[in-house]
Structure 1
Amino acid sequence: MSLELKTFLAFRIIEKNLEPIKRPDLINPDDLLFIDDQKEKLIKNTHCFVKGYMANDVLLWGRRGSGKSALVKSMLFRFKDEGLRMIQAYKSNLEDLAFIYEYIYDKPYRFILFFDDLVFSEKDERFSLMKALLEGDIEQRPDNLIVYATSNRRDLTIEKLQDEKFPEDSLNDAYALVDRFGLRLGFWGFSKEQYINIVKHYVKSLNLTWNEEFEKEADRFALNAGGYSGRSAKQFAKYLTVNLCYNKNHG
C-alpha cells in the first residue's frame, strides 16, 4: 500500500480495500471561475490540513452544476505534490471505514475522504453512521483524514415531514449532521454574463476563436440545459467542438 500511495493520487473503496484510480480527474482551480470566495476558503482549509494543522470537515452545498465537485477535485491538483491523496467514498462504504483507518493512520500522507452528491432518504440507517464519522464515534479518526462532501441539499436530507407527529425532531437530526461540518460553503447559480465568460474560457482553452454567434448559441443551450451553470458552459464547449468537427469533415 505504501508504494501505491506514492504512485497514485486517488483511490476508491472496494470491498474494504483502497483501489487505486489510475487516471484521476485533475482540475486546475484557476479554471473554476466566479466562485472565488468558496475557492479561497477551501484552499486555506486544505493548506492547513496538508501542513499538519487542525482543519475543518467541509460541506459544499448548493445549486447543481455550480462547481462544488470540481472545486473539491481541484484540491488534489493543487496539493498533490505536498502529500495530499483523495479517497472517493459512498454511503455504502460507511461501514467499512474502520478498515480504512487501519490502512492510513500511520502513513506519511494526508487524505481527503470525498463524498460526492451526498443525500439521505427518510430513515436511512447510514445517516447515523455519517454523524459518527464526523463527530461522536468512540473510535478516534486518524489525524491525517478529513471529510469533504458535496450535496445539492443544504440539510443533506430528502424531507418528508408532513406525515410526522413531531417534524421538528427530523429537522433537528438533519441539522445535527450538518452542524458537524465545521466549514459550510454555499454555491448559487451564475448570471448570464458570468456564464458567457465561463464559455469563453472553455472556448479559449480549446484554441477556438470566439465568434459573437457563439453567445446566442450558448444562451439557447443553457436554457435547454436548465439554466446558467459551469456544467452547462463546459457542455456547450463540447457541443461547439462537435459541430465544428462535423462541419469541417462534412462541409
Structure 2
Amino acid sequence: MKFSIIKKIFNDDDYFVYLPNNKEIVPIKIKFYTNLKDILFVEKQKNLILENTKKFTSNIKSNNILLWGASGMGKSTLIKCVIKETNKFAKKSLKLIEISNNHLELLPEIIYSLSQIDYKFIIFIDDIFLKKDNPDFNTLKSIVEGSLLGDSDNIRFYITSNLRHISDQNTGNSSNDELIKKELRSNLLSLTDRFALWIGFYDNNKDKYLETVKYYAKKLKKNSFTPKKALEWSKNKGNYSGRTALQYIKNLDD
C-alpha cells in the first residue's frame, strides 16, 4: 500500500494523526478540557512556542522546536492548545499532524506530500526515543539536519522528549549504565543542535503543585479536595506535575 494524502481532508479539521498500518493521515476530533491559560508555571515556554507559531503562520522566520524535560508538565498539551489559539488569528490555516515516535519510516514521503499542499503544518512527534540505533530517531535527525525536505516553508517540527529514558536506564552494571546514559545525553545534544529553538520544562515543587491543585479544583468545581490528600496522591505518583494535580482533582467524587 502506497502512502497518499487526500488534500480535501484539511479543509474542515485542524488536528490529524498518521495511521501507519493504513498509511494514511486522518482527522481527529479533540475535546479541550485544558486551555492555554490552564497550563501553569510555564509562561516563558508558553510565550516562546506561541510566538514562534504565529510567526510561522505569518510567513516570518520561524523555527523547529524541541520541547524537553520533566514528564507531565504540559509539553504535549501546550502544543495542541497553541494550535487552537493560533488558528483564531490564522483563519484555520494551521494544521497539526501527530506521528507516532516509532513509525517515522514514511516521514520523507509525508513531508514531500505536505509540501505540495497550501496549508501550514506542524509535524508533532511526542516523546522521541534517543537511542542511536533507533531508525526512527535517525530518520528524524537526517531530515531536520539538512535534507531538502527539511527546508519546506510550510512545515515545522515540534518534538518532545521527556528525558526519562536517561534516568530509567538500568542494566544492572554501573559502568554500562553510565555508558548508556552518556550516549543518550549525547544524542539529545545532537538533536538539539538541529533545532534552533529548544525549550526546557522542569518539575514543580510542592508549593506549585498545591497551587495547581487549587486552580483545577476551582475550575472543575471540586470542593472536597484537601492539601493532605493531594500530597498523598502525588507521593503515589512520584511527582508534583501538573498532570498529577489534574488527575487528583478529576478523581474526586464531587
After TM superposition, give the deviation of residue 170 of structure 1 in Å: 7.7
SS at match of 2:86: helix
Measured against aligned partners, the alpha-carbon deviations of 1:195-228 in whole angstroms (never above 9, x if no partner) come to: 111111111111234x6x6122111111111121
SS at match of 1:120: coil
Corresponding position of 2:124: 114
Corresponding position of 2:3: none
- Are 2:245 and 1:233 aligned? yes
- Are 2:64 and 1:57 aligned? yes
SS at match of 1:112: strand
Contact 2:166 2:185 in 1 (8 A): no
After TM superposition, give the deviation of residue 91 of structure 1 in Å: 3.2
Corresponding position of 2:206: 192
Residue type of the alignment partner of 2:194: R
Corresponding position of 1:5: 10
Corresponding position of 1:46: 53
Corresponding position of 2:159: 149
> Do the aligned partners of residues 26 and 214 (structure 1) sit closer, same or farther apart at CA in structure 2, a change above 3 Å counting?
closer
Contact 1:67 1:231 in 2 (8 A): yes
Corresponding position of 1:35: 42
Corresponding position of 1:73: 80
Contact 1:9 1:24 in 2 (8 A): no
After TM superposition, give the deviation of residue 140 of structure 1 in Å: 5.0
SS at match of 2:160: strand
> Do the aligned partners of residues 24 and 179 (structure 1) sit closer, same or farther apart at CA in structure 2, a change above 3 Å counting?
farther
Query: What's the % identity of the aligned pairs?
Result: 31
- For the aligned residue pairs, the C-alpha RMSD in angstroms reads 2.9
SS at match of 1:95: coil
Corresponding position of 1:84: 94
Contact 2:213 2:249 in 1 (8 A): yes
Aligned mate of 1:183, from 197, 204, 212: 197
The two structures have a TM-score, normalised by structure 1, of: 0.83
SS at match of 1:34: coil
Structure 2: gaps (5+ residues): 1-5
> Do the aligned partners of residues 30 and 134 (structure 1) sit closer, same or farther apart at CA in structure 2, a change above 3 Å counting?
same
SS at match of 2:159: strand
After TM superposition, give the deviation of residue 24 of structure 1 in Å: 5.6
Structure 1: gaps (5+ residues): 245-251
Residue type of the alignment partner of 1:197: E
- Are 2:138 and 1:124 aligned? no
Residue type of the alignment partner of 1:78: E
- Greater radius of gyration (CA): 1
After TM superposition, give the deviation of residue 147 of structure 1 in Å: 0.5
Matched positions, count? 239
After TM superposition, give the deviation of residue 17 of structure 1 in Å: 2.1
Measured against aligned partners, the alpha-carbon deviations of 1:67-87 in whole angstroms (never above 9, x if no partner) come to: 111111111221134111100
> Do the aligned partners of residues 158 and 112 (structure 1) sit closer, same or farther apart at CA in structure 2, a change above 3 Å counting?
farther
Residue type of the alignment partner of 2:222: L
The farther-off stretch of 100-109 and 140-149 is 100-109
SS at match of 1:94: coil
- Are 2:232 and 1:220 aligned? yes
- Are 2:215 and 1:201 aligned? yes
